[in-house]
Amino acid sequence: MDTRPIGIIDSGLGGLTGLQALRALLPEEDLIFFGDTGRMPYGGRPKEQLRRMGQQNLDFMAGFDVKAIFVACGTLSSTAADLLDRYPIPCFGVLHASVEAMAQIPGEGPLAVIATQASIDSGAFARALKARCPGREILSIPCPAFVPLIESGHTAPDDIPLRDAIEEYLGPVRRAGAQGLLYGCTHYGIVDEAVRAYLGPSVRTVSASACGAAQLRDYLVREGLTGGGSGGERFFTSGYPAVFERAAVRLLGRPLGSPVEALPVWSV
């Protein structure tokens, strides 16, 4: 048993899908969430800047004596994987677990990954998918408008700006007859209903958040590090707490249970 909390970091609200997944899997664990909304979006930033930001976020979370850190951010998972691997606290990104789930999709047809521009430019998702699924076509598509749309509340399947963006970005996925679609950015799972309405029921969608949360749960159970918590939650943001709280309540569908705490925006 280990009563220390679990830390969760993301560029913004998308990581709340990871918190939600962890809460369902580990209801008694204490969770600390940091959404770096003051510096969001991450997707258009240079790799070295992202790595510095990732280091700052990890170091902040380490200050709470967490037993593990869930990096519920596809951009950091793909551009700073080595940083996570060598961090002194066990860190779990969303790349490898989600690629493994994609590899289980039967058939020989194309597979697609959608993510931020930085994630796609890194090539990390595509390389991992090609290594696990040799012979299958891999489509890698950046969707830069998704995060701003989601963060500003455009999440409903009938939302016109969201539908327009989905048609623009995912047209190649539908035309290629892809059999699977990986949400390489944790924000994107929030609009899964709208995406599936466009692509149709034959395309299996895979959530990086859910896969990463399951991998972390398996590690904690295997190492005997679960239990003893109270199910408490703390929330931090580098943006405006009131704005974060309203959006978080909308996405989680429940009150947060504790005030959102503000942090300064660190320089990069």
Q: Measured between alpha carbons, how far is residue 126 from residues 100, 140, 163, 205, 254 in Å?
A: 12, 7, 25, 16, 36
- Active-site hit among 91, 133, 143, 185: 185
Query: Is 85 buried (19+), middle (13-18) or exposed (0-12) by CB count in 10 A?
Result: exposed
Helices 16-25 and 208-222 cross at an angle (nearest 10°) of 40
Q: Measured between alpha carbons, how far is residue 119 from residues 18, 156, 194, 215, 236 in Å?
A: 18, 25, 22, 20, 24
**How many CB atoms lie under 10 A from the CB of residue 226?**
20
Q: Indicate the Cα dihedral angle 119, 120, 122, 125, nearest 10°.
A: 80
Q: Is 73 tagged catalytic?
A: yes
**How many CB atoms lie under 10 A from the CB of residue 46?**
12
- Active-site hit among 73, 91, 143, 211: 73
CA 131 to chain CA centroid, nearest Å? 22
- Gap between the Cα atoms of 76 and 42, Å rounded: 9
Q: Is 143 tagged catalytic?
A: no
| Catalytically annotated residues | 73, 185
